[in-house]
């Protein structure tokens, strides 16, 4: 599904953290804009990862011998 780095999970986690920081509001405005840019970038990469992922089913050999 998703095997690029950084992983989807990491990206989404960072995005959530950025949203949290911006909402708490304890950041200077210059940093806020940089954070927002980073957040947008993360959002886009998450969406791109989802778009790129394709479902697949892989078989391990019987009894994995």
* Contact footprint for another protein (CB under 8 A): 1-3, 7-9, 12, 15-16, 18-19, 22-23, 25, 27, 29, 32-33, 35-36, 39-40, 43, 46-47, 50, 53-60, 62-65
Residue 32 to residue 17: CA distance in whole angstroms: 13
Q: Give Cα separations from 27 to 3, 9, 33, 43, 62 (angstroms).
A: 33, 24, 10, 20, 56
Closest approach of another protein to the CB of residue 41, in Å:
11
Min dist. Cβ of residue 34 to another protein (A):
10
CB 39 within 8 A of CB 18: yes
Tell me how far, at minimum, the Cβ of 13 lies from another protein, in Å: 9
């Amino acid at each position: 599904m998703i095997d690029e780095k950084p992983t989807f999970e990491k990206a989404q986690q960072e995005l959530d953290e950025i949203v949290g920081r911006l909402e708490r509001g304890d950041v200077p405005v210059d940093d806020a804009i940089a954070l927002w840019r980073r957040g947008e970038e993360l959002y886009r990469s998450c969406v791109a990862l989802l778009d790129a992922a394709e479902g697949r089913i892989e078989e391990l050999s019987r009894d994995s011998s």
